[in-house]
């Protein structure tokens, strides 16, 4: 049995034991109040196996393709920053709404993992019809992908109780999702608008340690001469990317050439070495305060992982819908 498969089996057994015993185990704790009306253990009485079911689906998907795990982490960010954490990014086009969020330029064609959310929803619906929201599944999936990609180092509680939204518009992705060309001031303002601090912004940027990026997201601005990018790294990228990427010729490259499939603090070491892809990545060194954050995240063991756990919970609480403001979709791709 492979290491990832063994992790999946051992954690499934632990989750089930915790549910049966009615106690906390690992990241599962008894229900407790949390931000925005969310709570840890929200489904323990409503659908006791919900989180274990999602984790099984995500673990199997990441075992097959680690890139899907990176996509699921990114999906939470792209969902929450537009209409709040309400699964609006999952909605398919319809005659009444031909341009939902998933077709917005930041999401199409690069956002991945929709089929994993579909599989998790189908499995949860089979166990507890009409109980678990798609928005909560997206949040659980991002947490679980973080757990597997970090080799268990990023393990945390994810409060739940979100409802699914009914509105989704592709143009809103351009209004709220920060492009890779943003400078530091733009990034700070963008995150502050969602109630997230400068530290949250720097910590969440660490997710760029996994996944791939289209050449068009950093060519030509980052490969221009002169540039602050390490010359050997820039040369390697020029060998992988066309000088003028287009819709028909836009390859992808790994965001972290050192540990591309591991959720770890290597991103910050890459930033310090001027071997990061995006303008937004390089901008973290343009102020003493954020540069120190980069140094600490790069050099203090466990520092980044602990902060990433907290920042992910804060991210997953952005503008959530509760009460009468949403619904629990039967199908994550369509409103009820």
pLDDT digits (tens, 9 = 90+) for 113-126: 999 999 999 999 99
Cis peptide before 30 (omega within 30 of 0): no
Same domain, residue pair 42 and 20: yes
- When mean pLDDT is compared across 9-13, 138-142, 227-231, 259-263, the lowest value belongs to 9-13
Report if residue 120 sits inside a domain. yes
Q: What does the alpha-carbon distance between residue 213 and residue 210 come to, in Å, rounded to a whole number?
A: 10
Residue 12 has pLDDT above 60, yes or no: no
Percent of the chain with pLDDT over 90: 85
Residue 221 lies in a domain: yes
Q: Same domain for 194 and 165?
A: no
Question: Is 190 in the same domain as 170?
Answer: no
CA-wise closest residue to 47 among 139, 141, 126, 159? 126
Quick check: 22 pLDDT over 60? no
Q: Are residues 187 and 308 in the same domain?
A: yes
The CATH number for 139's domain is: 1.10.520.10
**Residue 85 and residue 67 share a domain:** yes
Tell me: pLDDT of 132 over 60.
yes
Phi, psi of 333, rounded to the nearest 5 degrees: -90, 0
Can you tell me the distance from the alpha carbon of 173 to that of 316, in angstroms, rounded to the nearest whole number? 17
331 in a domain, yes or no? no
171 in the same domain as 40: yes
Please indicate, yes or no, whether residues 120 and 220 belong to a single structural domain of this protein: no
Considering the domain architecture, whether residues 216 and 168 belong to the same structural domain is answered as no
Band (182; pLDDT cuts 50, 70, 90): very high
Residue 9 pLDDT more than 70? no
CA end-to-end span of the chain: 41
- Tell me the two tokens of residue 291: 């540069």
Residue of 44, 78, 208, 214 marked active site: 78
Q: Are residues 287 and 212 in the same domain?
A: yes
In this prediction, residue 323 carries a pLDDT of 83
Identify whether 214 is a catalytic site residue: no
What is the average pLDDT value for the chain, to the nearest integer?
91
**161 and 184 together in one domain:** no
Write the DSSP symbol of residue 108: T
Q: Does position 26 have pLDDT exceeding 80, yes or no?
A: no
Question: Considering the domain boundaries, does residue 64 fall inside one?
Answer: yes
Above 70 in pLDDT, residue 128?
yes
Shared-domain flag, residues 9 and 41: yes
- What local confidence, expressed as pLDDT, does residue 225 receive? 79
Residues 6+ apart with CB under 8 A from 85: 76, 79, 135, 138, 139, 162, 315, 316, 317, 318, 319, 320
Number of domains in the chain: 2
Question: Is 333 a domain residue?
Answer: no
Range of the structural domain that residue 72 is part of: 3-175+316-325
For residues 185 and 168, state if they share a domain.
no
What's the pLDDT band for 107 if we cut at 50, 70, 90? very high
Q: How far apart are CA 319 and CA 172, in angstroms?
A: 15
336 within a domain of the structure (yes/no): no
Does residue 193 register a pLDDT over 60? yes
């Amino acid at each position: 049995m492979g290491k990832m498969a063994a992790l999946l089996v051992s954690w499934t057994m632990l989750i089930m034991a915790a549910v049966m015993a009615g106690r906390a185990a690992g990241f599962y704790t008894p229900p407790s109040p949390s931000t925005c009306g969310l709570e840890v253990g929200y489904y323990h009485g409503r659908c006791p196996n919900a989180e274990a079911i999602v984790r099984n689906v995500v673990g199997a998907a990441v075992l097959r393709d680690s890139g899907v795990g990176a996509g699921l982490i990114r999906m939470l960010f792209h969902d929450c920053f537009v209409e709040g954490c309400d699964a609006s990014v999952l909605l398919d086009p319809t005659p009444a709404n031909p341009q939902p969020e998933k077709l917005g330029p930041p999401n199409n064609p690069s956002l991945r993992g929709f089929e994993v959310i579909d599989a998790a929803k189908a499995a949860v619906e089979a166990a507890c019809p009409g109980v678990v929201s798609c928005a909560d599944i997206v949040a659980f999936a991002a947490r679980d992908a973080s757990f597997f990609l970090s080799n268990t180092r990023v393990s945390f509680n994810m409060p739940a109780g979100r409802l699914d939204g009914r509105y989704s518009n592709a143009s809103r992705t351009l209004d709220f999702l920060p492009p890779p060309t943003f400078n530091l001031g733009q990034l700070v303002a963008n995150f502050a608008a969602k109630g997230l601090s400068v530290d949250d912004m720097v910590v969440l940027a660490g997710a760029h340690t996994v996944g791939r990026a289209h050449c068009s997201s950093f060519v030509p601005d980052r490969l221009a001469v002169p540039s602050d990018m390490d010359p050997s790294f820039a040369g390697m990228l020029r060998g992988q990317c066309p000088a003028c990427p287009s819709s028909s010729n836009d390859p992808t490259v790994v965001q972290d050439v050192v540990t591309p499939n591991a959720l770890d603090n290597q991103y910050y070491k890459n930033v310090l070495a001027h071997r990061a892809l995006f303008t937004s990545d390089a901008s973290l060194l343009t102020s003493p305060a954020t540069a120190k954050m980069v140094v600490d995240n790069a050099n203090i063991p466990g520092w980044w992982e602990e902060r990433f756990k907290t920042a992910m919970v804060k991210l997953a609480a952005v503008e959530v819908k509760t009460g009468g403001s949403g619904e629990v979709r039967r199908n994550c791709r369509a409103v009820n």
